[in-house]
Structure 1
Amino acid sequence: MNGLIDELRAALFSVWHRRWIALGVAWGVCLLGWLAVATVPNSYQSRARIFVQLDDPLADQIGIGMGDRRRDIDRVRQTLTSAVSLEKVVRSTSLGDGINTPKQMENMVLALGKAVKVVNQQDNLFEITAVSTDGSLPDAQSARLAQDIVQKLIDIFREENLAGGRGEMSDTIAFMNQQLADRQKQLEAAEQRRLTFEAKYPELSQGGASLVQRMEAGRAQVRDLDADIAAAQSALAAINGQLAGTPSTLSGPGTGGARGALSDAQAQLAAMRARGLTDSHPDVIAMKNQVAQLRAATAFEGPATGTPNPAYSSLQSIRAEKQANLQALQTRRASAQADLARVDAQQIENPAVAGEAQRISRDYDVLKQQYDKLLQDREALRLRGQVEDERSAVKFQVIDPPTTPRSPVAPNRPLLLLGVLVIGIGAGVAAAFAVAQLRSTFQTTARLEKALGLPVLGAISHTLTDSARALQGKRLKYFIAGSAALGGVFVMLLAAEMIQRGMVA
């Protein structure tokens, strides 16, 4: 620990012994550094905030939704920093003074693009900032230039969303009208070709439908009729089963015996067949044998007596209706099958003509669909344009107008001046210490003993005369004055900086 303290004392002594070197180096470094700081131009920043209202009930109703508006605003925000927009800013502000060549304009646009920022702070809030760094202008004019740049950007923002959007909508509608006119001419030509073909081949045309469409429609109709016929046959079979199990007459008083048993057996046999049992089923065979025996037994009885059964008469009416319905369906199916066969035969007999009919019909259908789609889009765009003109969903409001900079944002000149002072003092101390290390002198007896490896018995102190002590005191006063002057220059520079900022404000 004592050795470390001795080394520190030796270093301080060597620096103090060469304090004039330290003071001179500090003055030189500080003057050069302060001169460099003075040449750095001030940068002034102006900012503004804009609120953009996006929601509008009528706009949402016709399809101008939040997503579309946000995409439009993102597009405008991106185009604000484009070369075209920045060139407008340059030409409308003092930045354009002295620019005579395209190369100068390009360099200025690139520099302005680095100094301008458009930030989306929230969904509806935008912040526009611009930094002006022009050493050729006074600070007050440079601050004013930053404000002018932000104001011009706000104007461009408004023009791009209002006037620019309406102009684009008008151009789009004009383009849609031109496309509609072209599609209408093509559609009229295709319709004329279709009418000419139908007049020449009436058997291959039916309301503009192609042969493929007609064949598909015919097959679909046949399939539907087959399903209806199957349902009608099933219903008729059910009615026949019920009719077979229902007696035509009701037995009167005193009748029955074998004849009543025969009716019951026949009803049971009909019910078995209605359930789908075949004649080879054992139950059906047994029931048929029973029916035969009962018929033989009723041959010895007298003629049957009884009243007509109303249920049997109702079932007969229903069966007649089902039979007529089934016959009508079968007739319709035969007609549809004949039409399908005729179309198929026409396609086989005249493949070239059939192909021409399909091509004409296909071209007409495609053009008709395109025309209808363009017409709907044109009307939607026209309604959208009217809403944007009369009730624009995007409404701008300047929350914070462009600020007038009161102080530069860069550089931090007071801090730089203090830093240069610290560096200058450090450089002076380092220079004095380095010079002391280059000279072969020993500041303490301990260092001499360590260097020689021999014991040192003592040291003779430096004694001064009265005149020498007076001269030393005078030099010390000069050194203190020189150091105070360095600090005074630093204070004067800080005061000048504060006065300059006050003049800008």
Structure 2
Amino acid sequence: MKDILDQVIYYLGALWRRRWLVFGTVWTVAAVGWAAVVSLPNQYESSARIYVDTATVLGPLLKGVAVESDLNRQVQVMRQTLLSRPNLDQLVRMTDLDVTAPGPAAYEALINRLEDRIDLTADKQNLFTISFTDKDPRLARDVVQALTTIFVENNLGENRSDIDNAQQFLRRQIAEYEKSLDAAESALAKFKQDNMEFLPGQSGLAEKLASAKGQKASLEAQLEDARKRVALLEDELAKTPRMLGDVAVAGGPPTNIEAQIVAIQAQLAELRARYTDEHPDVVVLKRRLENLLRQQEARISAATGGPNAGDTGGTVVNPVYSDLRIALVEEKGKVTTLEDQVRRAAQQVAQLERRIRLVPEVEAKMKKLTRDYEVIRQNYETLRSRLEAARISADRDEGGNRVNFRIIEAASLPALPSGPPRALFLIAVLFASLVAGGGVSWLLAVTQVTYGSVDHLKRDFPHKVIGVIGMVMDDKGRRRHRREIILLVAGSALGLLALFTLLFLESRYGLVSVRALGWGLCLIPLALGLG
């Protein structure tokens, strides 16, 4: 800490020893700097304020119907594209600044200057401020007016152009999907027509197969009954004699036929109690009973009324045998017919079973065709709905003004300069001059070392300090020292007075209007510095 304090004391001593050099440096730099500040031309700023209104009455009404984009993002894009190269080229043409740039290099420099001096700011409420500063107030106003026009027209045009491009793209896609949809519909309709019986929900193979199986079972049952009847008839035919011999005379003892009739009638009564008249056993017994009755009638007729009634014997054809043989032939014919019908029914069932095995494959292809059709149809409907939304958006933007640009404050011709901030520059020059004076003193203190204390001398040299000789001022020296102090204070006060006068003139009249007086005031610190 003591070393730091010694260093500070040393540099302050060096500064005081070179006070006149520091004094001259400070006021010379101040005079030159103030003269430069006085010479700065006035800068005029023109600005315009634009409000981008994104909240419209139609917004809530068309929510979910029209296309909704990120309006905040759109506003950010507006801000970034305003200073694009095409817009700057258009600005140069609109303000006739291109005539001031004779060559490509000058034109590029002009574009760069414009880009640097144009200021575009935006707050959170979508309020844009466009400002431009130039020494020519008319040029500042013209540039801001042109930028306002470019900002509004370009963004409105871009919005409409985007919607038009979207509609054209959607129409092309809809036309392509319409062709695909027609092709898918035709393929699906043809497939349904060719495979109608295989499709679910139709009276097709399943119903036909069930009906064919039922018909086959019924025919097989009928065939089984017919075969049973054939067996019964064959058995009965085997028991029945083909010829009848020694026919008994009338009034003789009872024959075997009458006993058979009684037995069959008893069996028939028993069967009718359990079955219907159409039962095969009932039918066979009824036929046997009828044959026996006819046979009995024939015997009685032969015994009582025939030409050989008085004879004691003879042979005749057994009518029961003939009837049984005829019935057997008929039943065998029915069996043959039923066997053919059962065979055809079995073939039909087998054919239907083979075809019904194709149903899963047909259904899978049907599902694929339906799925493809539904995908194309959904995409087609989606594109149509989006086209309608784009059309409504276009109508809204044209009639409902989705994004409104309201010029809150138009560009005007500035009457008073907005800069440069000469008062700030004047004060900054004063501080810079003080730094320059202190810097000169420090540089000399470093390059031209002097010793202001014994301790400093001991640090730099290893020799022993024998003694210190002090300086005693006489009256003449003290008077001269006082005069120096007075001159320093008076000179500094005079320089500060010149500064305050410049600040007053700047705030009251503007230094440009009293530039000659300002330069005259700058001569005061210059004289102090050079003196």
When normalised by structure 1's length, the TM-score is: 0.53
Contact 1:130 1:150 in 2 (8 A): yes
Counterpart of 1:20 in structure 2 is 20
- 1:45-444 equivalence runs, <5 A: 46=47, 48-57=49-58, 60=62, 63-67=65-69, 76-93=78-95, 95=97, 98-101=100-103, 103-118=105-120, 121-122=123-124, 125-132=126-133, 134=134, 137=135, 141=137, 145-162=139-156, 216-224=191-199, 228-232=203-207, 300-303=270-273, 385-399=394-408, 401=410, 413-436=422-445, 438-439=447-448, 441-444=450-453
Whole-Å separation in 1 of the counterparts to 2:2 and 2:184 = 114
CA distance change for structure 1 residues 455 and 97 in 2, over 3 Å: closer, same or farther?
A: same
Is 1:479 the counterpart of 2:481? The answer is: no
CA distance change for structure 1 residues 60 and 443 in 2, over 3 Å: closer, same or farther?
A: same
Shift, 1:16, TM fit: 1.7
Question: What is the letter of the counterpart of residue 127 of structure 1?
Answer: F
Question: What is the letter of the counterpart of residue 48 of structure 1?
Answer: R
Shift, 1:23, TM fit: 0.8
Shift, 1:407, TM fit: 8.4
CA distance change for structure 1 residues 94 and 486 in 2, over 3 Å: closer, same or farther?
A: farther
Whole-Å separation in 1 of the counterparts to 2:494 and 2:96 = 42
Per-residue CA deviations over 1:115-153 (Å, capped at 9, x if unaligned) read 33555544x614133332x4xx25xx2xx6445433333
Please state whether the residue corresponding to 1:228 is helix, strand or coil.
Answer: coil
Please state whether the residue corresponding to 1:396 is helix, strand or coil.
Answer: strand
Per-residue CA deviations over 1:248-285 (Å, capped at 9, x if unaligned) read xxxxxxxxxxxxxxxxxxxxxxxxxxxxxxxxxxxxxx
Is 1:489 the counterpart of 2:464? The answer is: no
Whole-Å separation in 2 of the counterparts to 1:89 and 1:375 = 41
Please state whether the residue corresponding to 1:156 is helix, strand or coil.
Answer: helix
Whole-Å separation in 2 of the counterparts to 1:120 and 1:440 = 58
Contact 1:52 1:125 in 2 (8 A): yes
Contact 1:62 1:384 in 2 (8 A): no
Per-residue CA deviations over 1:1-20 (Å, capped at 9, x if unaligned) read 77765554443333222211
CA distance change for structure 1 residues 213 and 238 in 2, over 3 Å: closer, same or farther?
A: closer
Per-residue CA deviations over 1:322-361 (Å, capped at 9, x if unaligned) read xxxxx9xx9xx99xx9xxxxxxxxxxxxxxxxxxxxxxxx
CA distance change for structure 1 residues 61 and 445 in 2, over 3 Å: closer, same or farther?
A: closer
Contact 2:192 2:199 in 1 (8 A): no
Counterpart of 1:454 in structure 2 is 464
Contact 2:141 2:411 in 1 (8 A): yes
Question: What is the letter of the counterpart of residue 67 of structure 2?
Answer: G
Whole-Å separation in 2 of the counterparts to 1:4 and 1:376 = 82
Shift, 1:50, TM fit: 0.8
CA distance change for structure 1 residues 126 and 443 in 2, over 3 Å: closer, same or farther?
A: same
Per-residue CA deviations over 1:48-73 (Å, capped at 9, x if unaligned) read 24132344538837954331766765
Whole-Å separation in 1 of the counterparts to 2:145 and 2:122 = 17
CA distance change for structure 1 residues 15 and 234 in 2, over 3 Å: closer, same or farther?
A: same
Is 1:470 the counterpart of 2:469? The answer is: no
CA distance change for structure 1 residues 229 and 21 in 2, over 3 Å: closer, same or farther?
A: same
Question: What is the letter of the counterpart of residue 109 of structure 2?
Answer: N
Extract unaligned runs of 5+ from structure 2.
219-266, 277-344, 356-375, 514-531
Per-residue CA deviations over 1:159-199 (Å, capped at 9, x if unaligned) read 235567668878999x89x999xx9xxx9xx9xxxxxxxxx
Whole-Å separation in 1 of the counterparts to 2:82 and 2:112 = 13
Whole-Å separation in 2 of the counterparts to 1:442 and 1:68 = 74
Extract unaligned runs of 5+ from structure 1.
191-206, 244-296, 307-326, 338-365
Shift, 1:421, TM fit: 1.9
Per-residue CA deviations over 1:457-493 (Å, capped at 9, x if unaligned) read 4423232243x44344333333223322332333234
Whole-Å separation in 1 of the counterparts to 2:387 and 2:450 = 98
Whole-Å separation in 2 of the counterparts to 1:24 and 1:45 = 42
Shift, 1:46, TM fit: 3.0
Whole-Å separation in 2 of the counterparts to 1:3 and 1:395 = 71
Please state whether the residue corresponding to 1:91 is helix, strand or coil.
Answer: helix
Moved more, 16-25 or 84-93: 84-93
Whole-Å separation in 2 of the counterparts to 1:213 and 1:441 = 109
Counterpart of 2:251 in structure 1 is none
CA distance change for structure 1 residues 461 and 6 in 2, over 3 Å: closer, same or farther?
A: farther
Counterpart of 2:31 in structure 1 is 31
Question: What is the letter of the counterpart of residue 130 of structure 1?
Answer: S
Please state whether the residue corresponding to 1:461 is helix, strand or coil.
Answer: coil
Q: Which has the larger radius of gyration?
A: 2
TM-align CA RMSD: 5.6
Counterpart of 1:287 in structure 2 is none
CA distance change for structure 1 residues 237 and 406 in 2, over 3 Å: closer, same or farther?
A: farther
Per-residue CA deviations over 1:397-433 (Å, capped at 9, x if unaligned) read 2345558879888765444433332232233234234
CA distance change for structure 1 residues 11 and 54 in 2, over 3 Å: closer, same or farther?
A: closer
CA distance change for structure 1 residues 302 and 216 in 2, over 3 Å: closer, same or farther?
A: closer
Contact 1:87 1:105 in 2 (8 A): no
Per-residue CA deviations over 1:233-253 (Å, capped at 9, x if unaligned) read 58769999xx9xxxxxxxxxx
Shift, 1:375, TM fit: 10
Counterpart of 2:523 in structure 1 is none
Shift, 1:498, TM fit: 2.5
Please state whether the residue corresponding to 2:69 is helix, strand or coil.
Answer: helix
Whole-Å separation in 2 of the counterparts to 1:222 and 1:498 = 102
Whole-Å separation in 1 of the counterparts to 2:198 and 2:449 = 120
When normalised by structure 2's length, the TM-score is: 0.51
CA distance change for structure 1 residues 396 and 478 in 2, over 3 Å: closer, same or farther?
A: same
Please state whether the residue corresponding to 1:67 is helix, strand or coil.
Answer: coil
Contact 1:43 1:411 in 2 (8 A): no
Whole-Å separation in 1 of the counterparts to 2:456 and 2:73 = 78
CA distance change for structure 1 residues 298 and 43 in 2, over 3 Å: closer, same or farther?
A: farther
Please state whether the residue corresponding to 1:424 is helix, strand or coil.
Answer: helix
Per-residue CA deviations over 1:294-313 (Å, capped at 9, x if unaligned) read xxx9973445699xxxxxxx
CA distance change for structure 1 residues 50 and 442 in 2, over 3 Å: closer, same or farther?
A: same
